[in-house]
Amino acid sequence: MNKLIVIEKPHKWQLDIPNVDLVSAQDYLSDAAGQMGKNTKVINLCKSYQYQSVGYYVSLLAEARGHKVLPEVSTIQDFRFPSMIKDDAQDFDAVIQKCLGSSSETKLEFKIYFGYTEELANSSLGMLLFNLFQSPILKASFIKRDKWTLESLKPLNIYDLSNDERIKLQSFLGLFMSNKKVVRKNHQRRKFDLAILVNPDDPNPPSNPKALQKFVKAAEEVGFNTEIITKNDYGKITQFDALFIRETTNVNNHTFRLAKKAQSEGLVVIDDPQSIMRCTNKVYLNELMRSYGINTPKAAIVSKENPFAAVERIGFPFILKEPDGAFSKGVKKVQSEEELNELLKGFFKGSELLIAQEFMPTPFDWRVGVFNGQALYVCKYFMARNHWQIIDWKKSGKAQEGKSETYAIADVPKALISTALKATKLIGNGLYGVDIKEVNKKFYVIEVNDNPNLDAGIEDKILKNRLYETIMETMMDRVKIKQ
């Protein structure tokens, strides 16, 4: 197995671990590192794991490449929600009291290095917290009132440590790289209630009101008590057995937080947090598809260090995309160096990496809806009038959409379906919409969407009510498996 430590400036740190290579973050983010085999372990010691920072992208692309990375992106997101971490710690109250009960202090803080602690008395607690929230360096703070409770758990980086602590880090890292044990939590619930999450103010929701009514009816027919909820119902999520998200998802908003909370409570979740994380970032998707040999348009990762990567690799014109844009937003066609320079000023404000794709003009995009590993529906989405995208966002904020056509699975090319299934298999077994371009009878995956449109009168045109019933039946089956 290849073993890598990835950090921004390797020459600054004396991290000499046997059989482990020290690699710069920039080198790891390059195409060359993507050629490493799947049998690669990556320790991400970058300065920041904040959303769309260099450290975030190291973990994100590691997962796309099939590398085993620490921390995982889902763990990075966990730390954005301290209340969830505290709730999870309450499940292990007995361990906390046993480890800290004899202390006469009212507040205790200690660092955890890959599960190891300096004080032997804290070792079992340190390993427990690391197994739950696997990040290289953690700082745990506990306070005692009636009993000991976790006040905070924060990830640190090597820059936060003193020289002595860095020496300890190297020692514990060496132990960790030679032997790692992981414990995962498991929760169970026993009711049969479904929550459908919507945003009443969304101007372009993934399901129109009639489709939502059909989902509710199908859910009730299979045995769910069903309730439409909004983000304000976060505190009620534990009352349900399943969560079906029907509003636009994003890693950086409440939809991901709700999905994480629901999953941690043992609910069946569509879209699950992993699917949201993987599908909403186009940099990740491009790397994932490329790593597994799926046809995609020619692409390049654009960074501040190499802003003209797309020009060098693709040439004009090309499509420049913000990593987490949705519904054709954050997607621009670039036809000159002047346009590129102007767009980069705004695009780099939100992310340190962007994705550029070859411009492939077609009159329509295929959309294959996939659920539970099976093709569910197929549509053609035609480009908006006098525009190169399906949706043309006007300056007023209004959207002009192209027409659509829906097809039976048996009436479309088999290669189209197999391409979609191969792409979604890399994401999970949830509900996906695969956008595919057809050029010279070849199929190229543009994106995999975790929250595809399911509108009454469009995507259900062939299956009718059976589309909604299929989704609800599968969700019920998954709930029963958890009982």
Is residue 89 domain-shared with residue 150, that is, in the same domain?
yes
Task: Quickly state the pLDDT bin for 122 (edges 50, 70, 90).
Answer: confident
Most confident residue range from 20-29, 196-205, 405-414: 405-414
pLDDT (mean) for 246-266: 91
Residues 218 and 211 sit within 8 Å (Cβ to Cβ): no
Largest CA distance in the chain: 75
Is residue 86 domain-shared with residue 171, that is, in the same domain?
yes
Is residue 72 domain-shared with residue 87, that is, in the same domain?
no
Is residue 349 domain-shared with residue 432, that is, in the same domain?
no
pLDDT (mean) for 328-357: 85
pLDDT (mean) for 375-394: 82
Task: Quickly state the pLDDT bin for 368 (edges 50, 70, 90).
Answer: very high
User: What pLDDT sits at residue 150?
Assistant: 92
Q: What is the CATH number of the domain that holds 380?
A: 3.30.470.20
Is residue 33 domain-shared with residue 115, that is, in the same domain?
no
If one compares 91 and 17, the residue with the highest pLDDT of the two is 17
User: What pLDDT sits at residue 401?
Assistant: 80
Strand 137-144 to 107-113 pairing: antiparallel
Q: What is the mean pLDDT of the chain?
A: 88
CA atoms within 13 A on the CB side of 107: 3
Residue 277, classed as helix, strand or coil, is helix
291 found inside a domain:
no
Is residue 383 domain-shared with residue 340, that is, in the same domain?
no
User: What pLDDT sits at residue 180?
Assistant: 44
> Is the model's pLDDT at 189 over the cut of 70?
no
Is residue 354 domain-shared with residue 379, that is, in the same domain?
no
Most confident residue range from 5-19, 71-85, 164-178, 218-232: 218-232
73 found inside a domain:
yes
Give the Cβ contact number of residue 366 at 10 Å.
Answer: 25
User: What pLDDT sits at residue 185?
Assistant: 41
How many domains does the chain contain in total?
4
> Is the model's pLDDT at 110 over the cut of 90?
yes
62 found inside a domain:
yes
426 found inside a domain:
yes
> Is the model's pLDDT at 187 over the cut of 80?
no
Rg (CA), the chain: 24
Give the Cβ contact number of residue 7 at 10 Å.
Answer: 25
Question: What gap in Å lies between CA 246 and CA 196, rounded to an integer?
Answer: 7
289 found inside a domain:
no
The torsion angles phi and psi of 40, rounded to 5 degrees, stand at -135, 135
267 found inside a domain:
no
Question: What gap in Å lies between CA 297 and CA 358, rounded to an integer?
Answer: 5
User: pLDDT tens-digit profile of 54-106?
Assistant: 999 999 999 999 898 999 998 898 888 888 788 777 777 888 888 888 778 88
- For the chain, count helices (H), then strands (E): 15, 22
> Is the model's pLDDT at 41 over the cut of 80?
yes
Express as a percent the part of the chain with pLDDT over 70.
Answer: 93
Predicted TM-score (pTM) of this structure: 0.74
476 found inside a domain:
no
Task: Quickly state the pLDDT bin for 466 (edges 50, 70, 90).
Answer: very high
Buried (b) or exposed (e) across 13-49, using 16+ Cβ within 10 A? Answer: bebebeebebbebbebbbeebbebeeebbbbbbbbeb
User: What pLDDT sits at residue 325?
Assistant: 67
Task: Quickly state the pLDDT bin for 285 (edges 50, 70, 90).
Answer: very high
Strand 193-197 to 299-303 pairing: unpaired
> Is the model's pLDDT at 186 over the cut of 70?
no
46 found inside a domain:
yes
User: pLDDT tens-digit profile of 401-459?
Assistant: 889 999 999 999 999 999 999 999 999 999 999 999 999 999 999 999 999 999 999 99
Is residue 419 domain-shared with residue 386, that is, in the same domain?
yes
Residues 454 and 211 sit within 8 Å (Cβ to Cβ): yes
* Residue range of the domain that includes 90: 81-178
Is residue 91 domain-shared with residue 172, that is, in the same domain?
yes
Q: What is the CATH number of the domain that holds 141?
A: 3.30.470
> Is the model's pLDDT at 173 over the cut of 50?
yes
pLDDT (mean) for 9-23: 85
From 146, 178, 210, the end of a domain falls on 178
User: What pLDDT sits at residue 188?
Assistant: 36
Is residue 69 domain-shared with residue 126, that is, in the same domain?
no
Question: What gap in Å lies between CA 190 and CA 41, rounded to an integer?
Answer: 38
pLDDT (mean) for 230-248: 88
Is residue 418 domain-shared with residue 381, that is, in the same domain?
yes
Question: What gap in Å lies between CA 130 and CA 147, rounded to an integer?
Answer: 22
> Is the model's pLDDT at 128 over the cut of 50?
yes
Among the ranges given (176-180, 240-244, 459-463), the one the predictor scored with the smallest mean pLDDT? 176-180
> Is the model's pLDDT at 48 over the cut of 80?
yes
Q: Quick one: which of 435, 445, 434 has its CA closest to 297?
A: 445
Is residue 95 domain-shared with residue 143, that is, in the same domain?
yes
Question: What gap in Å lies between CA 437 and CA 206, rounded to an integer?
Answer: 21
127: tokens are 């390993």
Express as a percent the part of the chain with pLDDT over 90.
Answer: 53
From 77, 109, 137, the end of a domain falls on 77
From 54, 77, 100, the end of a domain falls on 77
Give the torsion through C-alpha atoms of 457, 463, 465, 469, to 10 deg. -130
CA atoms within 13 A on the CB side of 338: 0
pLDDT (mean) for 251-269: 91
